[in-house]
A = this chain, B = another copy of it.
Amino acid sequence: MLHSPARALLAIISLVSLAGMPARGATPAPARPPAMAPAEIVAAAPDADWTRIDPADLIVMDLAPDIQGSPRRVVIQLLPAPFSQGWIGNIRTLATAHWWDGTSINRVQDNYVVQWGDPDGEDKTRAKPLPAGLARVPQEDYTSKVFAAPEMISRKPDAYAPGTGIDAGWPVGFGKDRMWPLHCYGMVGVGRDMPPDTGSGAELYAVIGHAPRQLDRNIALVGRVIDGMEHLSSLPRGTGEIGFYKTAPERTPILSIRQGSDVPGLPAYQYLATISDSFRRYADARANRRDPFYIRPAGGIDICNLPVPVRRAK
């Protein structure tokens, strides 16, 4: 016997289509080989379905080598306009000023975030001076005016936003007249104090656990990790309050952070275009696993379980 609120819920859900996530204006899919896994669809995507990421929109963080002496490079793609451009301008200024060089990763909280910047940033007498010209960005910029619906709209309801989708390769939420990026795994945001406009971009964090979507619209997102995520997610967890390291030697030193256009020999990166047929088939396959291992396709997916494929260009 189900409890009556559950019955009411089921009645509502039955109105919602169980279908996957069609691209806007998509035509019916061509015949396809049965039972391809999502990764196989991505591997088979033609070059034309991949979109180049401008190196000027990348931030490259080199951590101190690991204990075996291997380099640890983390590559972050910055969000495009109209999202968070005030903070992103600050991040470009900080990178160009080499401000992060010699700072560190100061916090690793399990199933939540890795955070980096000036370990003395909270202490006014010891904080590293910030470069001139940083903007103070208002909290209104946590979201943006919507100019168009996302390229791909989820038909599945979401617990946090009236609507969700993928737009130009980014997970977004939207309401009547605003749109915002989402706190999915690997997304990078701007640490702040109170009030909400105190985050400059000098203190950054990356999501290393289940999507903390409660942060959406409460803090600025500026990008996502597209390469080297394992160098952040596998760091030792901090044993202090909310995952801060208790002592300086536990922190991982940051050798440098640069804009991608200033890094010689950086690979060319590409993401699978949201509007491509490959992406549409990838999204459908992730929402409805029909490859042989699966005996029961889910019939849906939450937006943060649909990571946008990124690759080094061939």
Which A residues form the contact surface with B (CB < 8 A)?
Answer: 1-3, 5-6, 9-10, 12-13, 15-16, 24, 67, 108, 110-111, 139, 146, 148-149, 153-160, 162-163, 165, 174, 176, 184-186, 194, 196, 209-214, 216-218, 229-230, 233-237, 286, 289, 292-302, 304-305, 307
Q: Is the CB of A111 within 8 A of B237?
A: no
Please state if B157 and A157 are interface contacts (CB–CB under 8 Å): yes
Q: How far is the CB of A98 from chain B (nearest CB, A)?
A: 29
Contacts of A237 in B (CB 8 A): 230, 233-234
Besides A2-B174, A6-B163, A214-B286, 16 other A-B contacts (C-beta < 8 A): A1-B148, A2-B146, A6-B153, A108-B234, A110-B234, A111-B185, A156-B159, A160-B300, A210-B305, A211-B305, A213-B305, A214-B289, A216-B298, A218-B296, A230-B236, A234-B235
Cβ contact within 8 Å between B110 and A229: yes
Whether B6 pairs with A16 at a CB distance below 8 angstroms is: no
- Taking CB as reference atom, which chain B residue is nearest A24? B3
CA distance A196 to B307 in the complex (A): 27
Interface CB pairs A-B, < 8 A, 15: A1-B148, A2-B146, A9-B16, A9-B163, A10-B176, A13-B163, A110-B233, A111-B185, A184-B210, A194-B292, A196-B295, A213-B301, A213-B305, A230-B237, A234-B237
Contact A9 B218 (CB under 8 A): no
Contact at B212–A9, with CB atoms within 8 Å?
Answer: no
